[in-house]
């Protein structure tokens, strides 16, 4: 069993869709893991987002960020990554993986992007997922095509407290590099939930972890773990974790995130035996700056 960082569940909030309006019902916190402060105006501005082939490095509130994306067929695919700068010295990242790849998945990814703009100013991480899910599911029910499911991981980082709050919608669990331990850990056990598009009113939960000097967060689409070798052997989540550790160890310090992303992607392609991948692969890496 892959190790898990020390985590505390922060909040669980149900959201129900009624007459196309979203209402959040707050449930009393059982235990507080984050430093709290008085509510202040919250607004987010998109710094970059896309589902095309790309490699971007960005500076956020107390974070370095790097996104590398390789659609499996064509210039665009079903993986959507988005990076936001918000008020209160806060940064937000989103990685969505629409089922399938190619033109259909690309259109679904673009729709998720539009919905993100609609709900980007929801401060609560789990609440953002719930609102996205309800609207996405209702839109899918109106469409004539087949039901489209989308997995999502989203995280909100507070540059003041160094706390990273995150939630999943059936997405692969992120990896946390603990600099003090020199190893990767999976984070988010118990937060799997259902993907977007399955049912309205899904309950999403969130967790929070305080980042320390030298820590790094790695989010990825399942194309990175499900890639198969020419013999049919799947890399697997454990294999990907081991690959990430080996890749980081092979690079001379201080390691630049862009170099790590490039080398890790090359490792995935090496396992595949080709630069042409079966599924879209996106790697989103975050590290404390300074």
**Using the 8-state DSSP alphabet, how is residue 65 labeled?**
E
| Residue 23 exposed, middle or buried by CB count within 10 Å (0-12, 13-18, 19+) | exposed
Q: In 3-state terms, what secondary structure has residue 87?
A: coil
The two three-digit tokens of residue 184, written as one number:
């990767």
Helices 236-250 and 257-272 pack at an angle, to 10 degrees, of 130
Of 18, 7, 16, the closest CA to residue 207 belongs to 7
**Using the 8-state DSSP alphabet, how is residue 275 labeled?**
S
Do the Cβ atoms of 57 and 64 come closer than 8 Å? yes
Residue-level pLDDT at 140: 87
Residue-level pLDDT at 73: 78
The two three-digit tokens of residue 29, written as one number:
């916190």
Neighbours of 174 (CB within 10 A): 23
- Gyration radius from the chain CA atoms: 18
H or E, element range at 55: strand 54-59
Residue-level pLDDT at 233: 96
Per-residue pLDDT tens, the chain, 290 aa: give them: 444 444 433 443 443 333 333 333 333 333 323 333 344 457 899 999 999 999 999 999 899 999 999 999 778 999 999 999 998 799 999 999 998 777 889 999 999 999 999 999 999 999 999 999 999 999 988 876 655 899 999 999 999 999 999 999 999 999 999 988 999 999 999 887 899 999 999 999 999 999 999 899 999 999 999 999 999 999 999 999 999 999 999 999 899 999 999 999 999 999 999 988 999 999 999 999 86
Distances (CA, A) of 25 to 36, 167, 278: 19, 17, 41
Backbone angles phi, psi at 102, to 5 degrees: 85, -155
Secondary structure tally for the chain: helices H, strands E: 4, 15
Residue-level pLDDT at 38: 42
The two three-digit tokens of residue 285, written as one number:
């890496």
Of 101, 81, 223, 211, the closest CA to residue 152 belongs to 81
């Amino acid at each position: 069993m892959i190790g898990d960082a020390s985590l505390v569940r922060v909040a669980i909030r149900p959201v129900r869709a009624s007459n196309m309006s979203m209402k959040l019902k707050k449930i009393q916190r059982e235990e507080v893991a984050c430093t709290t402060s008085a509510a202040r105006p919250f607004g987010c501005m998109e710094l970059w987002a896309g589902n095309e082939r790309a490699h971007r490095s960005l500076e956020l509130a107390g974070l370095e960020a790097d996104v590398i994306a390789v659609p499996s067929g064509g210039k665009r695919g079903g993986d959507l990554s988005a990076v936001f700068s918000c008020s209160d010295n806060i940064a937000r990242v989103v990685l969505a993986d629409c089922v399938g790849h190619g033109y259909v998945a690309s259109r679904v990814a673009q729709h998720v992007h539009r919905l993100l703009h609609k709900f980007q100013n929801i401060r609560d991480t789990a609440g953002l997922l719930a609102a996205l899910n309800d609207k996405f599911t209702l839109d899918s029910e109106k469409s004539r095509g087949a039901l489209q499911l989308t997995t999502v991981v989203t995280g909100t980082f507070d540059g003041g407290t160094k706390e990273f709050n995150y939630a999943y919608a059936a997405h692969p669990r992120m990896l946390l590099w603990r600099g003090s331990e020199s190893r990767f850990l999976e984070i988010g056990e118990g937060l799997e939930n259902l993907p977007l598009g399955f049912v309205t009113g899904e309950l999403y939960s969130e967790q929070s972890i305080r980042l320390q000097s030298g820590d790094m967060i790695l989010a990825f689409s399942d194309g990175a773990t499900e890639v198969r070798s020419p013999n049919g052997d799947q890399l697997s989540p454990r294999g990907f974790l081991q690959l990430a550790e080996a890749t980081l160890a092979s690079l001379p310090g201080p390691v630049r995130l862009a170099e790590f992303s490039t080398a890790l992607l090359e490792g995935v392609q090496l396992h595949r035996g080709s630069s042409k991948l079966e599924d879209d692969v996106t790697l989103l890496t975050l590290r404390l700056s300074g």
